[in-house]
């Protein structure tokens, strides 16, 4: 492990340990998370998902950042994407159980509010499946477009205010990677089971777990981004 890896590990430990060692700090976080869901989602995804992309870059290039990577614009975009993810969670966690009941699977909506059961497991799977086969591909493609826009502006904050030519951006995507890796493999093999676990958790932990998964998402999309340049 190189010195920069030790430094990053130390920084992560310094940031996270107080939440485990100090009850009042954790209580403050829990209170903020409950009453300011979208603000805390912005912060969690801005930090964790961006860190995930930096880890992905480290894996592929040996560096946590590089010219044109644009840590700040990525963090800001991830923050807003985090808000979108939270909104999607609310939509699908409410709607998917109703869809299940509309096709004759009774009691799913009620089961999702209770303790673990086969019905709750099926409901969590339904939520995850519907979200990852509808929302996720659009979300991942949008992220790919914003990622390319940041690179186009050499990592500058101008990427946040510059208009995006979506027709050009969509045609420039390496769909072999986007479909063959990001959609075809990660959605059924990783995201559907991982989000099934997410929706089995108590509501107060779901967004935190999703933000932690954002690290994995950042790694996957960052690697896909690097591969698509080859």
Specify the pLDDT at position 203.
79
Specify the pLDDT at position 221.
63
> Of 121, 56, 123, which Cα lies nearest the Cα of 94?
123
User: pLDDT tens-digit profile of 23-43?
Assistant: 776 677 677 777 788 998 898
Higher-scoring residue by pLDDT: 108, 210: 108
Count of domains for the chain: 2
The answer to whether residues 25 and 115 belong to one domain is: no
The answer to whether residues 9 and 121 belong to one domain is: no
User: pLDDT tens-digit profile of 85-95?
Assistant: 999 999 999 99
The answer to whether residues 140 and 48 belong to one domain is: yes
The answer to whether residues 78 and 171 belong to one domain is: yes
Predicted confidence (pLDDT) at residue 50 exceeds the cutoff of 90: no
The answer to whether residues 29 and 64 belong to one domain is: no
Specify the pLDDT at position 55.
83
The answer to whether residues 181 and 118 belong to one domain is: yes
- The whole domain housing 161 covers 39-228
Predicted confidence (pLDDT) at residue 132 exceeds the cutoff of 90: yes
The answer to whether residues 97 and 30 belong to one domain is: no
Rounded to whole angstroms, the Cα distance separating 92 from 216 reads: 21
DSSP assignments along 153-220, one per residue: TTT-GGGGTS---HHHHHHHS-HHHIIIIIIIIIIIIIIHHHHHHHHHS-HHHHHHHHHHHHHHHHHH
Predicted confidence (pLDDT) at residue 71 exceeds the cutoff of 80: yes
Predicted confidence (pLDDT) at residue 130 exceeds the cutoff of 60: yes
Predicted confidence (pLDDT) at residue 227 exceeds the cutoff of 70: no
The answer to whether residues 86 and 6 belong to one domain is: no
Specify the pLDDT at position 92.
96
The answer to whether residues 6 and 71 belong to one domain is: no
Mean pLDDT of the 119-126 span: 95
The answer to whether residues 116 and 215 belong to one domain is: yes
Beta carbons of 215 and 48 less than 8 angstroms apart = yes
The answer to whether residues 10 and 47 belong to one domain is: no
Predicted confidence (pLDDT) at residue 139 exceeds the cutoff of 90: yes
Percent of residues, the chain, with pLDDT higher than 70: 85
User: pLDDT tens-digit profile of 2-22?
Assistant: 776 676 667 766 766 665 666
**pTM of the predicted protein model:** 0.84
Specify the pLDDT at position 225.
60
Predicted confidence (pLDDT) at residue 119 exceeds the cutoff of 60: yes
The answer to whether residues 57 and 152 belong to one domain is: yes
């Amino acid at each position: 492990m190189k010195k920069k890896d030790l430094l990053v590990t130390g920084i992560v430990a310094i940031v996270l340990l107080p939440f485990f060692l100090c009850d009042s700090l954790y209580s403050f976080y829990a209170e903020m998370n409950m009453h300011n869901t979208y603000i805390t989602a912005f912060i969690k995804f801005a930090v964790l998902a961006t860190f995930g992309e930096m880890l992905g870059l480290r894996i592929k290039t040996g560096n946590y950042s590089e010219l044109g990577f644009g840590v700040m614009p990525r963090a800001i975009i991830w923050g807003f994407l985090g808000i979108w993810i939270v909104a999607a969670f609310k939509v699908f966690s409410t709607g998917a159980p109703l869809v299940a009941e509309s096709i004759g699977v009774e009691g799913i909506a009620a089961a999702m509010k209770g303790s673990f059961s086969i019905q709750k497991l099926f409901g969590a799977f339904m939520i995850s499946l519907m979200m990852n086969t509808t929302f996720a591909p659009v979300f991942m493609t949008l992220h790919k477009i914003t990622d390319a826009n940041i690179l186009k502006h050499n990592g500058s904050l101008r990427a946040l205010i510059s208009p995006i030519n979506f027709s050009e951006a969509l045609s420039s995507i390496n769909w072999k990677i986007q479909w063959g890796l990001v959609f075809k493999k990660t959605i059924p093999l990783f995201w559907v089971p991982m989000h099934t676990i997410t929706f089995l958790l108590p509501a107060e932990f779901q967004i935190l777990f999703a933000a932690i998964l954002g690290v994995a998402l950042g790694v996957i999309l960052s690697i896909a981004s690097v591969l698509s340049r080859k």
